Amino acid sequence: MLNTVDILETIHMIQDECLDIRTITMGISLLDCIDPDIDSACRKVYDKITSRAEHLVRTGEQIEKEYGIPIVHKRISVTPAAMLAAACPQGDPVKLAHALQRAADTCGVNFLGGYSALVHKGFSAGDLALIRSIPQALAETGNVCASVNIGSTRSGINMDAAALMGQIVCEAAQATADRQCIGPAKLVVFCNAVEDNPFMAGAFHGVGEPDCEIHVGVSGPGVVRAAIEKYPDAPLDELADVIKKTAFKITRMGQLVGARASRMLGVPFGIVDLSLAPTPAVGDSVAHILEGMGLEQCGTHGTTAALALLNDAVKKGGVMASSNVGGLSGAFIPVSEDAGMIAAAQAGTLCLEKLEAMTAVCSVGLDMIVVPGDITPETVSAILADEAAIGMVNNKTTAVRLIPAIGKKEGDMLEFGGLLGSGPVMPIGRKSAAKFISRGGRIPAPMHSIKN
């Protein structure tokens, strides 16, 4: 039987501690839309997405009302668009981006991810054309997100791709300089990208996935922080237990919503991504969890250890709560999307180097970090390579979402609004890595990639 304490706890989590389902993401395969004529491919893409996801938003809203839990975003992820571009070498891939945007508008979703290319071992047909079109595609669309996988533990790091992506990130910022450089905020550069990630901007629908499926991304940093605050003097192993129990409850909610959405839409249930995803709202910050553990401010010494504990406990608690855990599943540390991270970066406590160390123990990477507008493409490439190396060697996903703030310098702010938040321009290293980047080629896969 239900008891009063349990009922009130759930309501308290939703009302006062910002508990929500961050996203229901429908993954849709576009492999059957491949066509040598780009206009025909665009029509097929639009038709397939709008027919599969026709009821996605309405279903999400209905579940919100049924269970009384907010579902903040409804999203779509699709097959990497480079695979469609490969079939039409004469066609302009930006047309595909516009088709995706039209489909997103018709369905009413918040984001659509999959303007992507997977080039961790090398470029195949369509990849280069698509990557070169990313700045224009992101500037001319509003809700389409792009991602490029440049490395993996099994294949090493494609340094030609790292070099190219440094230029692309800078061009994407320049193309949207009049709009707070929003372009690169919708572009993720991965190592070890996952095929079933429901979170943006890095979501795409991998080729190993079924034709159509539903993923759920949960949230809940505010709930974890509130739980920790009830144990101000507990030793860390006890604190880890508290986090595990809280993560279990949050993930169960995701499992319930995902299973319900899957039944209502008649589409298989993919995975629950049990990530702690912050928002700029007060009380919904991962940095504040770390501070709740006893750090004066996020970014100081001890931050990496605290984050490692948090990330591990979230996974251990969440994994029992869901039949299928996947995606990125861990703690996110996007600077501009987290009130505590923004404050720590402004105070100078949180710097790029510390963030890089933190990415070795959390679920993703350098996320939503605003850098000075005069950063060189080679420096961006070097940051991408550093981060990809951490992912490659540690068998984990790492991602980089850097936003060069054109015309701005350290201490200035970029304001994106909504879930993307606002970010202070953070200092970067000024010595050149141009020679290293210009060598190109591939960084070989590490010894432990040879597992068979």
Two tokens, residue 221: 């940093």
Q: Which stretch binds another protein (CB under 8 A): 101-109, 249-257, 335-343, 395-403?
A: 249-257
What is d(CA 446, CA 452) in angstroms, rounded to the nearest whole number? 14
- Separation between Cα atoms, residue 252 and residue 248, nearest integer Å: 6
Binding to another protein by residue 6, rule CB under 8 A? yes
> Of 7 and 207, which has the nearer Cβ to another protein?
7
Site string for another protein, 64-93 (x = CB under 8 A): -xxxxx------------------------
CB 205 within 8 A of CB 78: yes
12 binds another protein (CB under 8 A): no
Q: Beta strand 212-218 with 21-28: parallel, antiparallel or unpaired?
A: antiparallel
**Is the bond leading into 201 cis (omega within 30 degrees of zero)?**
yes
Choose between 69 and 433: whose C-beta lies nearer to another protein: 69
Give CA separation, 197 vs 8, 66, 314, 403, in Å: 32, 26, 17, 22
- # binding residues, another protein (CB under 8 A): 20
Site for another protein (CB under 8 A): which residue of 74, 215, 249, 354?
249
Q: Contact with another protein (CB under 8 A): which of 10, 50, 110, 167? A: 10
Cβ neighbours of residue 284 under 8 Å, at least 6 residues apart? Answer: 18, 219, 221, 222, 278, 339
| Residue span binding another protein (CB under 8 A) among the ranges 2-10, 82-90, 161-169, 362-370 | 2-10
C-alpha dihedral (203, 209, 213, 214), degrees to nearest 10: -40
- Give Cβ neighbours of residue 285 (< 8 Å, ≥ 6 apart): 221, 222, 225, 278, 338, 339, 340, 341
Q: Of the candidates 119, 227, 253, 414, which one interacts with another protein according to CB under 8 A?
A: 253
Minimum distance of another protein from residue 13's CB (angstroms) = 9
Contacts (Cβ under 8 Å, ≥6 apart) of 263: none
Q: Does 216 bind another protein (CB under 8 A)?
A: no
H helices within 68-213, ranges in order? 81-85, 94-107, 127-140, 159-175
For another protein, the binding residue among 55, 132, 252, 442 (CB under 8 A) is 252
Stretch of residues binding another protein (CB under 8 A), selected from 3-11, 93-101, 174-182, 228-236: 3-11
Angle at 348 between CA 343 and CA 353, to 5 degrees: 110
Nearest approach, Cβ of residue 274 and another protein (Å): 14
- Piece of 183-191, 252-260, 387-395, 402-410 that binds another protein (CB under 8 A): 252-260
Pick the piece of the chain touching another protein (CB under 8 A) from 59-67, 103-111, 174-182, 198-206: 59-67
Among residue numbers 336 through 365, which ones bind another protein (CB under 8 A)?
A: none
User: Smallest gap, in angstroms, from Cβ of residue 243 to another protein?
Assistant: 16
Per CB under 8 A, 110 contacts another protein: no
Pairing verdict, β 144-152 and 187-191: parallel
Judged by beta carbon, residue 256 or residue 426, the one nearer another protein is 256
**What is the binding site for another protein (CB under 8 A)?**
2, 4, 6-11, 15, 62, 65-69, 249, 252-253, 255-256
